[in-house]
Structure 1
Amino acid sequence: MVIRDAPPGKVRIVLVDDHEIVRQGLRSILDREQDLRVVGEACTAGEALAVVLRECPTVVLLDLKLSTGADTEGLDLCEQLTSRHPEVGVLVLTTFLDDALVVEAVQRGARGYVVKDVDTTELVRSIRAVARDESTFDSRTAAAIVRSMRAGSEQPVLTGRELKVVGLLARGLSNKDIGARLYISETTVKFHVRNIMRKLDVNTRAEVVYEASKLGVL
């Protein structure tokens, strides 16, 4: 279902949730933000793929449990969206905080994962981060990744400064905010992030967090 077009410069959002009342509530909240606009909704994976193809959103807000009630439908959809539309950021918004689900969502291409009891400010911040091609995890979901991958015994391959950058990436901070925390320029942060991705052989910030957790360095 199409809502309406978004003026230039707006973050275009598609909502994927099988509960209409949830979509209505999210639309009401997000459309109050000057830089955000909900441009489409879907309640099934098939509808979601069609709406995304038609509306070209910046961000898809995705519940993992859709009409079938199975986790795999949302996870499969996440993977299809990120493979067919790599320019679109998928942010999981779900009721379930399960370590395995968080990790698999990242493996399937999600840029972030938040739980539905998140407050409005944090949700909006997460959407904006994903729109900037950044990963975003609150403290609970970041901890879930760490718990799931802590068993690895590999030694860290990152420098002390790079480890600090990874830790701040796991908290969902932007390059600008990381630079402010570490007293370095945003350009220097981008340099570190590129090096980290090269060393860990990954392509996204979310994968950085996942691989660093697997190495046990978070």
Structure 2
Amino acid sequence: MAEVIRLVIVDDHAIVRQGLRSILEREPDIDVVGEASSAPEALDLVAATRPHIVLLDLKLSAGSDVAGLALCGRLTQATPAPGVLVVTTFLDQRLVLEAIQRGARGYVLKDVDAVALVGAIRAVHRGESAFDSHSASMVVKSLSGPAPGPAGPDLTAREREVLTLLARGLSNEAIGRELYISATTAKFHVGNVMRKLSVSRRAEAVYAGSKLGLI
């Protein structure tokens, strides 16, 4: 049997938390182990329950629309660190990229349908990145900025292809199908890309690659 995904919901609106819980508890491989409405509550809850995934809203207080960004950074620096999937109403290129910088593995809007949300949760649990079509377009838009010059790491043509497919959120298996190589070979190339970019997460590789003009 597949491992049950332990999940915490962090949102300042009780009705949103209850709605997410009611949707996710229908899935046999997802166990909602707790809810939090603020950063302090979330940190205590995550420390106590050690979830695999945290669903995180960016707005956690009346005074700030992006208080969740700071919490995202603290969660992803913890040991063990949960996978953070941002679920929010805010669509802004800066926020998407900053969430990635702070360790988020995915970013979806609250109007995402239940099937796509569950798919994103499972993808993050597998160590993949997960973006809905809106946030993915923000990432792609960031890739169109000017290249900073030749100082970046020396990626092979194949590794650049792999990096481009990572930006689309593809798994190793999907990358293999796109490039007509095995999933094992795709995983090898992904590992080389992350090593050369000095990152540990796939989403960070996309962000670093975009900043270096490699895509």
Q: Give the structure-2-normalised TM-score.
A: 0.91
1:27 pairs, out of 21, 24, 27, with 21
Q: Which amino acid aligns with 1:154?
A: G
In structure 1, runs of 5+ residues without a counterpart are 1-6
Q: Which amino acid aligns with 2:134?
A: R
Query: Structure 1 residue 190 and structure 2 residue 187: aligned?
Result: yes
Question: Who is 1:4 aligned against?
Answer: none
1:14 pairs, out of 8, 17, 27, with 8
1:76 pairs, out of 51, 58, 70, with 70
Question: Who is 1:176 aligned against?
Answer: 173
The alignment partner of 2:17 has SS state of: helix
Q: 1:86 to 1:134 in 2, by over 3 A?
A: farther
Question: Who is 1:153 aligned against?
Answer: 148
Q: 1:117 to 1:194 in 2, by over 3 A?
A: same
The question of whether the paired residues in 1 share the 8 Å contact of 2:39 and 2:68 is answered with yes
- The within-5 A match list for 1:63-212 is 63-148=57-142, 150-155=145-150, 157-212=154-209
The alignment partner of 1:80 has SS state of: helix
Q: Which amino acid aligns with 1:206?
A: A
**1: CA distance between counterparts of 2:121 and 2:130?**
9
Q: Please provide the CA RMSD for this pair.
A: 1.9
1:62 pairs, out of 41, 56, 70, with 56
Q: 1:176 to 1:118 in 2, by over 3 A?
A: same
Q: 1:213 to 1:191 in 2, by over 3 A?
A: same
The question of whether the paired residues in 2 share the 8 Å contact of 1:138 and 1:171 is answered with no
- Identity across aligned pairs (percent)? 60
**1: CA distance between counterparts of 2:115 and 2:77?**
29
Q: Deviations over 1:98-141 (max 9, x none)?
A: 01101111111111111111121211111111111211223322
In structure 2, runs of 5+ residues without a counterpart are none
Q: Which amino acid aligns with 1:93?
A: V
Q: Deviations over 1:154-210 (max 9, x none)?
A: 357422222222222222222122222222112111110111012212111111110
**2: CA distance between counterparts of 1:8 and 1:147?**
36
Q: Give the structure-1-normalised TM-score.
A: 0.90
Q: Which amino acid aligns with 1:140?
A: H
Question: Which moves more between the two structures, 44-53 or 183-192?
Answer: 183-192
The question of whether the paired residues in 2 share the 8 Å contact of 1:138 and 1:172 is answered with no
